[in-house]
Structures are given as C-alpha cells and as structure tokens.
C-alpha cells in the first residue's frame, strides 16, 4: 500500500508519498498554478498520482487531498476556499474530477483535519482516545480524534476551533473571517500583531518597540526575540496569548473531556512563553475533572499536513480491505 498525501495551499501544493511503515518515500512541492484554472490543477495533481501508479505498479495506491476552507468530505467537494484563487469553479467536485482522471477515488477533507490525524499517528502513535489538535498560524484551525477516530462532523466542517467565540460577537476584535470575537482574532498572527502594535504605542521605548521599529513589515517573531531578552512588554504579549488560548481550549475540554491537546503550527514555537498562562486558565476552572489529566504538548513537524493526508489515505484504504 502506498499513500499519497496532497496538501493544497494557496501558494504551494505539497505531495507526500508514504509506505505502510510510515516512511516518506517521495516528496515534492510545486507552486499552485492558477493560469490554467481548476482543470489545469486537476491534471497537475492527477499526473503526479499517475506517475506514482507507474512507479509502484504492484501496490495499491490510496490518495487523500487536504484543502483549506469548507470541504464536504462525503462528496469530496470544496465548498468555500478563501485561500485558493480558482475563480472558474464554485462547489468544486475535486474528488469526482480526480477519480475520472486517475481511476482512484481520493479522500478530500479539510487540511487541518488531516493534519490532526498526522499528529495523532506520528506524535502520539495513536495513544490516547480523545485528542484535540490546534494549528496556530495566521489562521487557527484544528481537528479532533474522538474514540480513536478522526471526527469530521456531519458535514465535514468539525474543528473550526479558530472561529469559536471567546469575546463579544459585537465588540470583540475582528477576525480574518469577518466576524468579531473569534479565538483566531486573539491568538492568530494577525491578532498577536495587533497587540504588539498597541504595546509599541503604549511603551515606545521597550525592547519590543525598538525591534518593531527596526524591522519593516515585522512579523510576530519580534515578540519572540524580545521575550528572549526578557522584555516585559513582549512577555506580556505571550502571557495574554496563552490566556486567550487557554480560554479556547478550556471550552473544548468542557465539551469533549479529551486526554491530550497538541499545539502545532508556527506560533506553537513560542509555547515556552505562553504555556504557563495557558495552564493557569486550565487549572482555574471550577469543574476540575476534564483538566486534572489533560496534557498539553507541542508538535513540530512542518510537513504534518501532507504526511497526515498520506497516513489517513493508507489508514482508510486498509480499513476498507478489512470490511
Ligand atoms: Zn473567525
């Protein structure tokens, strides 16, 4: 069995070819090409799959495509994809089109959901029954493993962690999705940047402010570098980030009572600075049981989207063999 994981991003498409032992046997990264529209995209991905079929003629090939946005995982349709700029297609039947091209029916699912499966397989080795994976980057997404199974909800949209609300929907900060009060508006990079700018205005002589002034188009990494220099303003940025993330995670723990939370994505690299405040929120909850044994850890595999897709493809195909 060979699994092909396709991680579709707005800028790059990444391919990961894996075997049943969980080894990556091939990986490739190409720029997302918009010039020939959705049809061109299907043939690019389809040709890659065909090449792998030729390379491994004796093996069954399983394919999973992880795409951003709202995905109908049952029908394999991309319903809403703000990061993909294919303007010639709405409600894109990607699974049908790829199947027609390659004769393989692919799994098509939300990218963060498949990444969650990858984290569950690689970091946890499938230990733990109920797991929440939170991806922290420009966007805040995630996925859930419930009773050892990837949970995708009734319509494929489960795990939109970033858009759960932790503040007033009228007056909270505005999120990339257009709504107010979303968790992502606090702990996504845009939200963190907003607090950095507010801090710089309030304390223009802080180390953080100096770094911001020296760095045109600064990234939130300045707050990491300033924190390394023990800048109180930067430490406060991370403390607040941990506090808000803690509120979001506590809500999920109260609903799901999971064993483990795994934080992934670029912002999770600052966990050493935000984790104490996050854990403080969890330990301050009144209902103690879901928090007493809850473990919060970080994962650092930058390829987890594609790897998770490939592993999920294999897992699903193997299960179908058993049925
Ligand atoms: Zn939102």
pLDDT tens per residue across span 125-139: 999 899 999 999 888
- In 3-state terms the chain splits into helix, strand, coil percentages (rounded to 5) of 45, 20, 35
CB neighbour list of residue 310: distance below 8 Å, 6 or more residues apart: 3, 4, 5, 16, 17, 18, 24, 64
With pLDDT > 90 as the criterion, what percentage of the chain qualifies?
85
Q: Ligand 1 centroid vs 57 CA: distance in angstroms?
A: 45
30 close to 21: Cβ distance less than 8 angstroms? no
Rounded to the nearest integer, the mean pLDDT of the chain is 94
Give, as residue ranges, everything with CB less than 5 Å from ion ligand 1: 163, 175, 177, 179, 182
- Domain extents for the chain? 2-116+303-322, 126-298
Instruction: Determine the distance separating the centroid of ligand 1 and the alpha carbon of 138, expressed in angstroms.
Output: 11
Name the 3-class secondary structure at 169: coil
Class of domain 2-116+303-322: alpha beta
Ligand 1 centroid, distance to 183 Cα (angstroms): 7
CA distance linking residue 124 with residue 160, whole number of Å:
22
Q: CA nearest 109: which of 61, 66, 150, 63? A: 66
User: What span, in angstroms and rounded, lies between the C-alpha atoms of 94 and 35?
Assistant: 18
Q: Per-residue pLDDT for 81 more than 80?
A: no
pLDDT at position 88 is 87
* Beta carbons of 286 and 143 less than 8 angstroms apart: no
pLDDT category at 80 given cuts 50, 70, 90 is confident
If you measure from the C-alpha of residue 74 to the centroid of ligand 1, how many angstroms do you get, rounded to a whole number?
A: 24
pLDDT at 76 over 80: yes
Looking at the chain, the number of H-run helices and the number of E-run strands are 11, 12
Q: For residue 26, what is the enclosing H or E element?
A: strand 24-31
Structure confidence at residue 84 as a pLDDT band (50, 70, 90): confident
Q: Which of 260, 250, 246 is nearest to 132 (CA)?
A: 260
Burial of 171 (0-12, 13-18, 19+ CB in 10 A): exposed
Within a 10 A sphere around the Cβ of 163, how many other Cβ atoms? 17
By CB atoms closer than 10 A (0-12, 13-18, 19+), residue 43 is middle
Instruction: State the distance from the centre of ligand 1 to the C-alpha of 135, rounded, in angstroms.
Output: 14
Structure token pair of residue 209: 């402010």
Residue where the block lists tokens 């498409």: 13
Q: What is the C-alpha separation between 76 and 61, in angstroms, rounded? A: 18
Q: Does 126-298 carry CATH code 3.30.420.40?
A: yes
C-alpha to C-alpha distance for 228 and 210, rounded to whole angstroms: 14
Tell me the CA–centroid distance for residue 8 and ligand 1, in Å: 21
pLDDT at 69: 82
If you average pLDDT over residues 284-291, what whole number do you get?
Answer: 96
* Ligand 1 centroid distance, CA of 184 (Å): 6
Q: Do domains 2-116+303-322 and 126-298 have the same CATH topology?
A: yes
Q: How confident is the model at residue 253 (pLDDT cuts 50, 70, 90)?
A: very high
Nearest to 184 by CA among 135, 223, 222: 135
Q: 181 alpha carbon to ligand 1 midpoint, in Å?
A: 7
| CA atoms within 13 Å, Cβ hemisphere of 304 | 27
pLDDT at position 11 is 86
At 87 the pLDDT is 85
CA of 80 to the centre of ligand 1 (A): 14
Cα 160 to ligand 1 centre (Å):
9
* CA of residue 88 to ligand 1 center, whole Å: 26
Sheet holding 260-264, edge to edge: 149-151, 140-146, 131-136, 260-264, 295-298
Q: How far is the CA of 19 from the centre of ligand 1 (A)?
A: 37
Q: How far is the CA of 240 from the centre of ligand 1 (A)?
A: 19
Stretch among 23-27, 83-87, 170-174 having the lowest mean pLDDT: 83-87
Question: How remote is the CA of residue 59 from the centroid of ligand 1, in Å?
Answer: 42
Task: Report the pLDDT value the prediction gives residue 321, as an integer from 0 to 100.
Answer: 83
């Amino acid at each position: 069995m060979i699994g092909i994981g396709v991680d579709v991003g707005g800028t790059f498409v990444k391919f990961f070819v894996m075997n049943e032992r969980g080894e990556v046997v091939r990986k490739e990264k190409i720029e997302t090409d918009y010039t020939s529209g959705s049809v061109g995209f299907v043939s690019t991905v389809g040709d890659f799959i065909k090449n792998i079929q030729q390379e491994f003629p004796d093996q069954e090939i399983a394919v999973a495509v992880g795409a951003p946005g709202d995905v109908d995982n049952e029908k394999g349709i991309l319903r809403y994809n703000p990061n993909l700029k294919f303007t010639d297609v709405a409600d894109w039947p990607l699974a049908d089109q790829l199947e027609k091209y390659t004769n393989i029916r692919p799994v098509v699912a939300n990218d963060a959901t498949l990444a969650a499966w990858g984290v569950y397989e690689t970091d946890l080795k499938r230990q733990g029954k109920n797991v929440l994976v939170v991806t922290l980057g420009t966007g805040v997404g995630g996925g859930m493993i419930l009773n050892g199974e990837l949970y995708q909800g009734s319509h494929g949209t489960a795990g939109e962690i970033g858009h759960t609300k932790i503040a007033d929907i009228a007056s909270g900060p505005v999120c990339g999705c257009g709504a107010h009060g979303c968790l992502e508006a606090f702990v996504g990079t845009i939200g963190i940047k907003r607090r950095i700018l507010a801090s710089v205005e309030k304390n223009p002589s802080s180390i953080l402010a100096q770094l911001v002034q020296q760095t045109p188009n600064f990234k939130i990494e300045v707050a990491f570098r300033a924190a390394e220099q023990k800048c109180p303003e930067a430490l406060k940025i991370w403390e607040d980030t941990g506090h808000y993330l803690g509120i979001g995670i506590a809500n999920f723990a109260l609903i799901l009572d999971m064993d483990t939370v795994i934080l992934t994505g670029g912002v999770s690299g600052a966990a050493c600075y935000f984790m104490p405040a996050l854990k403080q929120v969890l330990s301050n909850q009144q209902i103690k049981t879901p928090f007493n044994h809850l473990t919060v850890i970080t994962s650092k595999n930058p390829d987890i989207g594609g790897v998770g897709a490939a592993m999920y493809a294999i897992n699903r195909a193997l299960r179908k063999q058993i049925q």
